[in-house]
Amino acid sequence: MKIEVNPEKCSGCMSCQLACSFTYEGVFNPLKSRIAISWPGELEYKISFTEDCTDCGVCVQYCNYGALKIEED
């Protein structure tokens, strides 16, 4: 399983980061998440994953805008 990223649909809400950090660290802290949302430009978002990411899909479940989805093999 792999996570497909569509940054054009990202709203920057950070729900994915909060869900990830809570799942793995027990706290709602985007800095402790395995997924990172950055803003390189105005209304332009970049989505990346740390090397600790296991592609579990928690972030996909909480992405309300379709920026993340499970890539089918």
The string of pLDDT tens digits covering residues 38-72 is: 988 777 899 999 999 999 999 999 999 999 999 97
> What φ, ψ does residue 48 adopt, rounded to 5°?
-140, 165
The number of domains in the chain is 1
Enter the pTM of the model: 0.89
Q: Domain residues for 6?
A: 2-71
Scanning the structure block, which residue is given the tokens 């972030």?
A: 59
- For residue 35, what is the domain's CATH number? 3.30.70.20
* Contact of 70 with 57, CB cutoff 8 Å: yes
Mean pLDDT of 24-45: 92
Distance, first Cα to last Cα, the chain: 7
